[in-house]
Amino acid sequence: MNYRHAFHAGNHADVLKHLVLSRIFALLSRKEAPFAYLDSHAGVGLYDLAGDQASRTGEWLQGIARIWQAEAHPALLDDYLGVIRQLNPDGTLRYYPGSPELARQLTREQDRLQLNEKHPEDGALLKDNMAGDRRVAVHRGEGWHVPRALMPTQEKRVVLLIDPPFEQADELSRCVTAMKEALGRMR
């Protein structure tokens, strides 16, 4: 496995994914009942856009940088951009939240996060980045096993993110299979 999310953090696809996740968290938080967030291919959770990997590709310049520099934003972006502002309090865009950090920041005390990252280095970094939050469990196994290994959850409501590297030709069909398995395992 060669994929490292840091090369692609903050690109246009990442921004779209994170905007959708932010809205899902906001909508689920309208009810008091807890929910679980499961991420099968989590990455490290927090990215330095000035770091070696992100600056090598510069993909974030056509993604989050364009939104960050815009003069006005729709209100629906407030939660998402609020997390990014917290990470960059001086107003200079340097740090970008991956899905795990976004979930950690936008979920509530009663919600639970189950994060999985297969890449050994990235899994260790994810564990370090999430240390100290008792709501978060980090697993370091095969992402395709997440539905079988972590579902059903004690929570009746679940957000399952399956975002593999798409390096193998069969990964889209594996996403469909994993989602069907997940739906079959939940109440």
Cβ-based neighbours of 140, under 8 Å, separated by 6 or more: 116, 117, 118, 120, 123, 124, 127
- Catalytic annotation, residues: 163
111 HSE (CA, 13 A, CB side): 21
Strands 95-97 and 46-48: antiparallel
Residue with tokens 């740090």: 95
Start-to-end CA distance of the chain, whole Å, equals 34
CB 43 within 8 Å of CB 161: no
Give the span between the Cα atoms of 100 and 44, in whole angstroms: 8
131 HSE (CA, 13 A, CB side): 6
For 43: left if phi > 0, alpha if psi spans -120 to 50, otherwise beta; the answer is: left
Longest alpha-carbon distance in the chain: 46
